[in-house]
Amino acid sequence: MIALADVVATSAEVAATRSRKAKVAALAGLLSRVRSADPLEVRVVTAYLAGSLLQRRTGLGWRSLQSLPVPATAPSLDVVEVHAALDRIAALAGAGSQAARAAAVTELFGAAIADEQQWLRGLVTGEVRQGALDSLVQEGLAAAGDVPLAAVRRAAMMAGSTVAIAQAALCGGVDALATFRLEVGRPVLPMLASSAASVEAAMAGVGDRAVAIDTKLDGIRVQVHRRGDDVLVATRSLDDVTARLPEVVEVVRALPATDLVLDGEVLALGPDGRPRPFQETSSRTASADGVALTPFFFDLLHVDGRDLVDSPGHERLAALDALVPRAHLVRRLVTADVDEAETFAAGALELGQEGVVVKDLDAPYAAGRRGAAWVKVKPVHTLDLVVLAVERGSGRRRGTLSDIHLGARDGDGFVMLGKTFKGMTDEMLAWQTERFRELQMVDDGHVVTVRPEQVVEIAFDGVQRSTRYPGGVALRFARVVRYRDDKPATEADTLATVRDHLGS
């Protein structure tokens, strides 16, 4: 049985080095010890090394964990014990649950030594800062199981998580990993796009070949699975939102196929066919009430027994066009001519959309990966950053949490780039005041430091060098475009990406 102390020690070892090779070696060392363990233990250890829980919710937060009991003097907890305790806490509900939860926290944390207490609190609140992201744990699994990293990554993509394939990687080898294929009804991690400053730059990556120029919609990414009359609609984070999007279910049920997997977006449209504000679309994916949403699809991963994930883009698009009516297809141009592509991109902007995505027609669908096969081009510079802190408002904003401190990912943490209140509506101020109180860690009376979880899309006019902030750069005229509840902090832009905009 793996002791919690062993996981904590490995986490500390990973955090103590900047060497990726050393991090992977530390992870592999512990993972190799669970090769013959119970499947539950394998799943728990894998999740904990990635800094996550198997429970989606526990009912615990920073406030409930601010005051901890006196730590134990010797380690005694194992990881399965901890998992079972958190399961019991997560199940508490109804009258008396608050007191029962506090008692359960005292029992669990009272059995932990000081280092275990601090690490467990970070695990429960999503604040384990060790640099062992999911991709590193995949490398650790590959090393511990002596299997190719590519096989581990592909299996994890198809299964929708690294935890789901850990046992196969450690004990089953390549053949066991190969059993994880695209399965209708089980969402896979979506393919992601890199960025370019212009259509010409995006097209340069494929040489003189024709590319697909897709309109980049200002909506919410969805993946839709259908088997017979059963339809599943999942977000980019693989959350099931089927019940909230009946109009999407209706459209997909009407398609001339029995089994299929589609990739696309949903958005709210006005009477003129132009997109409504993103917040209206976002609010509908959180509730079945509100404005109607229209689905638009841009890729097809499976149709009636035929997997298309490994097929080139032009084959997937041909199958998509044969299946989905034009009214529910993303507008697309196939061309090798830069001028023609730029005219199309300008037209997309005139229709109120975000820009375009340039796609290599020879590339397969790289689930869960961001690479050069898909490149997004947006005319306004935007970054997805993380809110690190927020300041109390003054004047007419008194009583709200107003100016937000912006951070980019950098190694194991985040680096501040500046702050802004520009672009915020009254509705946004009211929403973020409530939201950041939920994420509050420290309030000094002026600045409220928050857990770095909320992603915000920021428009800016350029990046300049600055000695004021530790990253050495600052954003010029930063303004809020929208909050991104569909994107986790681990997918926020990096400091390196920000620096790419120096001088822009």
Residue type at position 160: G
Catalytic member of 23, 216, 376, 419: 216
CA dist 367 and 301 (Å) reads: 10
378 counts as catalytic: no
Listed residue (163, 169, 131, 130) closest to 149, CA to CA: 169
CA-to-CA dists, residue 82 to 2, 55, 112, 340, angstroms: 11, 12, 10, 59
- In angstroms, the CA 218 to CA 423 distance is 17
Let me know if 493 is exposed, middle or buried by CB neighbors in 10 A (0-12, 13-18, 19+). Answer: buried
For residue 428, the SS3 value is: helix
DSSP 8-class letter at 396: G
Q: How far apart are CA 293 and CA 285, in angstroms?
A: 9
Q: How far apart are CA 22 and CA 403, in angstroms?
A: 39
Concatenating the DSSP letter of every residue in 126-187 gives: T---SS--HHHHHHHHHHHHT--HHHHHHHHHHHTSSGGGHHIIIIIHHHHHHT---BTTB-
Q: List the one residue out of 65, 59, 110 whose CA is nearest residue 88.
A: 59
Long-range contacts of 338-344 (CB under 8 A, 24+ apart): 338/199, 338/200, 338/203, 341/199, 341/203, 341/211, 341/213, 342/199, 342/200, 344/213
Q: Annotate 33-94 with DSSP letters as a single string.
A: GGTTS-HHHHHHHHHHHTT--SSS--S--TGGGSS-PPPPSS---BHHHHHHHHHHHHH--S
The structure tokens listed for 230 are 């059963």
Catalytic residues, which ones? 216
